[in-house]
Amino acid sequence: MEAAIASTGSSFHSSPNPLARQQRIARAVVAFVPQPQAHALRCERTSHPNPRASAAAAAAMGGDAGSGSVVVVGRKKRLAVFVSGGGSNFRAIHEAALGGKVNADVVALVTDKPGCGGAEYARGNGIQVIVFPNSKSAPEGISSDELLNTLRELRVDFILLAGYLKLIPVELIQAYPRCILNIHPSLLPAFGGKGFYGLKVHKAVIASGARYSGPTVHFVDEHYDTGRTLAQRVVPVLANDTPEQLAARVLHEEHQVYVDAVTALCEDRIVWREDGVPLIRSQTNSNEYT
């Protein structure tokens, strides 16, 4: 920046008009501020929409494909959700899919605890339950290779972790690049990592004196809670909060932000900036991102 100003310094000092000088400085500064570029790089497992089909659909719906409006075109995505507990986020996503908000079908529930509330809900709604991994407490569980083959047979597009406490196998992450989401009950990267789950997170937040918390939706990599952040919601931490009270307030936001993120994922509205940061393109204006 200093070099840019120095190279044009003589012209700045030669201007007798202070306002003109300030305007020229502002133009020089703006010219040297790098602007992040967004590229619509979506999950490798899905195909890009046909521009002509999008334009035709927009015209049929009374919209204009060139006006910045977004028209959802494409088949329903197929989701597998992983849970270890009650699965309230799983239920929120499933209900949103049934109601048409999420353009997807939940085709499988994967769990390490076959008797958990999430698994019972899945069975009651005709969703296939897959036990993973194999363990002493779940001898009917399958191996990583068997899980991957099963998900492929079910033609799963995206994997959603919703309170699943096991580390995801590397083979699964490699098979589903940029296609696995998780939700965590804190504003990552704070209060994340191995051992931070459930009330443990909220106890740590309160003990730290943090004034704000909230859920984070992020892509999954080989480690706990270190993948790229996709969406967050901010929740105030009140002076007399108990962990249970804070957890309830954060959970309310979890149900909303996760459904919104999954909606964008299934509508191919996740855009990856050149520096590797994922953004969500607006549902109503293709030139706006969050």
Confirm whether 48 is a catalytic residue.
no
Residue type present at position 108: A
User: Residue 278: beta bridge partners?
Assistant: 272
d(CA 105, CA 127): 10
Nearest to 176 by CA among 280, 43, 39: 43
Determine which one of 13, 94, 184, 252 is catalytic.
184
Residue type present at position 60: A
8 Å CB contact between 127 and 91: no
d(CA 78, CA 260): 16
Tokens 């120095």 correspond to 6
8 Å CB contact between 228 and 219: yes
At a CB cut-off of 8 Å and minimum separation 6, what does 150 contact?
A: 108, 130, 142
In sequence order, which ranges of 139-198 are alpha helices (DSSP H)? 144-153, 170-175
d(CA 55, CA 19): 47
8 Å CB contact between 105 and 97: yes
Indicate the SS3 state at residue 280: strand
d(CA 99, CA 78): 15
Tokens describing residue 199 = 């009330």
User: Residue 161: beta bridge partners?
Assistant: 82, 182
Which are the catalytic amino acids?
184
